[in-house]
Structure 1
């Protein structure tokens, strides 16, 4: 993976379970559409309204192809609509980062 999309969510802390279900649905949808799902993360300590989603791609072209497949995916569209109906996501920000060689997937020696 050359590119990672970091999605920062501000969520309604009283609807944590709704966001968790939303994230779990992406566990099926994202890989099917071509993304390498690294995981979704809920707040545990500290801030109670910030969650993260991390998705890897081989490059920007792979991300663009993924977005096109995602928009055409019926389950993906339904998951977006679920979030709109439930209003448990208050804000969403995306950042794209590239991994630093020699720091990824290191194993203890």
Structure 2
């Protein structure tokens, strides 16, 4: 299993827009074979920090997901929404191997 940890630097005055973006992605990750652990929004922390965690059975499954979302109109629209609203300043991805029970396929 591989977990993608995404660290977002967001626009603090566009929190509602980022929350909308996050709500779009949870079912899309699941549609394309992943398990979304959720988004984590600012609270008693830096007001421009948000995180997301989602897992795939393997790195190959994650790579397939990356290819598939490039051709999924709902995924393309979600990326475009973030671009149009400018709710995300930047993001970084890290890949971690979780120490937990295996995910059911």
TM-score above 0.5: yes
Counterpart of 1:64 in structure 2 is: 63
**Which range moves more in the overlay, 55-64 or 27-36?**
27-36
Deviations 1:2-27 (A, max 9, x none): 11000000000000000000000112
Q: Note the C-alpha offset of 1:91.
A: 0.7
SS in 1 for 2:65: helix
CA RMSD of aligned residues (A): 1.0
Q: Note the C-alpha offset of 1:32.
A: 0.7
Equivalent-residue separation in structure 2 for 1:59 and 1:28 (angstroms)? 19
Equivalent-residue separation in structure 2 for 1:9 and 1:47 (angstroms)? 11
Counterpart of 2:30 in structure 1 is: 31
SS in 2 for 1:53: strand
How many residues align? The count is 101
Give TM-score scaled by structure 2 length.
0.92
Gaps (5+ residues) in structure 1?
A: none
Alignment of 1:1-109 (within 5 A): 2-100=1-99, 104=100
Gaps (5+ residues) in structure 2?
A: none
SS in 1 for 2:27: helix
Spell out structure 1 runs of 4+ moving beyond 2 A: none
Q: Note the C-alpha offset of 1:35.
A: 1.4
Give TM-score scaled by structure 1 length.
0.89
SS in 2 for 1:45: coil
Equivalent-residue separation in structure 2 for 1:16 and 1:83 (angstroms)? 12
